[in-house]
Amino acid sequence: MVDLKSPPAERLGVSQRDVHQDAMDHVWIHSQPWAELAERQGLHVFERGEGTTLWDSNGKAYFDGISGLWVVNAGHGRAEIGEAMGKQASKLAYVSAASFTNGPATELAHTLSELTPGDLNRVYFSSGGSEAVETAIKIAKQVQAMRGFPRRYKVIARRGSYHGMTHGAMSLTAQRNETYFGPFMYGVSHVPHPNRYRSDFGLEGEAADIMAAKYVEQEIENQGPETVACVIGEPISSAAGLHVPSLAYWQMLRDICDRHGVLLICDEVINGFGRTGTMFAIEKYGIVPDIMTMAKGLSSGYAPIGATVVRDSVYDIFKEQKDVSMGHLLTFGGHAVASVAAITNLQIFARERLVERSAELGAYLLGQLEQLRAHRSVGDVRGVGLYAVLDFVSSKETRKPIAKDSEFIRRLNQEISDRGLLTRVWGVMHFAPPLVVTREEIDRIVTIADESLTVAEREHPEAFDA
Ligand SMILES: Cc1ncc(COP(=O)(O)O)c(C=O)c1O
């Protein structure tokens, strides 16, 4: 038990106790089954981070191959961010988001309006990605109603997508769990994802993307355009397995939404802040969404903060109907200390040219990963910027995926972890290191993947079709 009577400096010495046991007894690890914690992978309690490296409570070092959870883009251990946050906390930490704002939130909103494409100029702050998505869908619905279309409440999302775990955001998330949480938000439908490797339409190349875009229009028409509020998608998919659509896909979606009076939401919660080699992934497509969501890399994880940025044309209705406000309030939106964390993070981005670095080193990462195609389990290698995956198959001919809960994937995870690499290996293996990663470190993580695959393939031949 924490001794609340001791002076704070002494209380911080948690390591005097068995922190690992304490964590097993009291911390609810968000999405690990008990068997993973107690019997298989175990639980790491991390104590320190620097650049791309994390140290656990046993002093073992790990390479952070997924930037926490696509979050720590500027790298761990940035004292500069901590110092700026400390200064702000002692000056002013909080004012009500319901009626006021503060200097750092204002500066950050201004910066984001400059960094985002086109006239995305108005920022609604929140505490993370799910809240940013909740905010986006509520804005879409309310704006449609205020424009005179109260029946436009439906949302079109894409199969395989992840948009968060609060109830509304989870309703858009494709793998939503009906058994525990249904019924979900009414009016959500899911359409096929652009996926050239395993197209739902049996098509290859750009034709697969174009068909996926046409399907969105079909779905709008099928639902009745007068009932559809918005379409939401990540410019470059994450949960669906990192597919980089062709220019035509997003340009078609922009055009389809415009023709049908539907708002287009781009979820940049993972894509944003340099991950794909541009500040925002949608920049590659030369279009401007009506609403953009962001979180994670916005502060590189130094503080919980999310944002929903809308075009002038979306906010204008609140200037016209000037006695109406958004039916939405998040107590911690625009928190001064979190805003300072984001501002200082973005200053580091500019000074160290982290976005350009992501493009340059991402090309190197992809080139090195290409060599792993020689493995029988590697069906595809995809990526852009410092964001890449290996897609595992039981047969290169049929492209049948290896199941996420197979012994092959379990073994692979174990090998990777034993060799000191942290990442996510499900149907695909993710490579998303902090943007400060070096070429030597990239070589090291590719070698770990290579060696681990060799072991898993040798020990689990049953994973492959004869
Ligand atoms: C694309 C996308 N949107 C939204 C979210 C939800 O973000 P958070 O976990 O910060 O609520 C995530 C989380 O991984 C995400 O990947």
Q: Enumerate the domain spans of the chain.
A: 44-77+354-463, 80-352
- How far is the C-alpha of 184 from the C-alpha of 305, rounded, in Å? 26
Tell me the CATH architecture of domain 44-77+354-463: Alpha-Beta Complex (3.90)
- Residue 227 pLDDT > 90: yes
Q: How many residues appear in the chain?
A: 466
Q: Could you tell which of 127, 130, 161 is best to mutate to test the pocket of ligand 1, judged by most ligand atoms within 8 Å of the CB?
A: 130
Distance 322 CA to ligand 1 centre (A): 32
CA of 163 to the centre of ligand 1 (A): 5
Task: Choose the residue to mutate in 31, 133, 137, 167 for probing ligand 1, maximizing ligand atoms within 8 Å of C-beta.
Answer: 133
Up-side HSE of residue 240: CA atoms within 13 Å toward CB? Answer: 28
Nearest to 442 by CA among 431, 454, 455: 431
pLDDT at position 253 is 98
Ligand 1 in reach of 124 Cβ (< 6 A): no
**Predicted pLDDT at 2:** 52
Q: Give the pLDDT band of residue 9 (cuts 50, 70, 90).
A: very low
pLDDT at 17 over 80: no
CATH architecture for segment(s) 80-352: 3-Layer(aba) Sandwich (3.40)
Instruction: With CA atoms as reference, report the closest residue to 136 among 231, 3, 67.
Output: 231
User: How much is the pLDDT for 3?
Assistant: 59
pLDDT tens across 241-284, in order?
A: 999 999 999 999 999 999 999 999 999 999 999 999 999 999 99
10 Å Cβ neighbour count for 389?
23
Res. 240: pLDDT tops 70: yes
Residue 405: pLDDT over 60: yes
Nearest CA owner, ligand 1 atom 2: 163
pLDDT digits (tens, 9 = 90+) for 334-350: 999 999 999 999 999 99
Distance 281 CA to ligand 1 centre (A): 15
Instruction: Check pocket membership of 308 for ligand 1, CB cut-off 6 A.
Output: no
Q: How far is the CA of 164 from the centre of ligand 1 (A)?
A: 5
267 lines ligand 1 (CB under 6 A): yes
State in Å: Cα 234 to ligand 1 middle: 11
- Asked if pLDDT for residue 89 goes beyond 80, the answer is yes
Q: What is the mean pLDDT of residues 188-194?
A: 96
Give the residue whose CA is nearest to atom 8 of ligand 1: 129
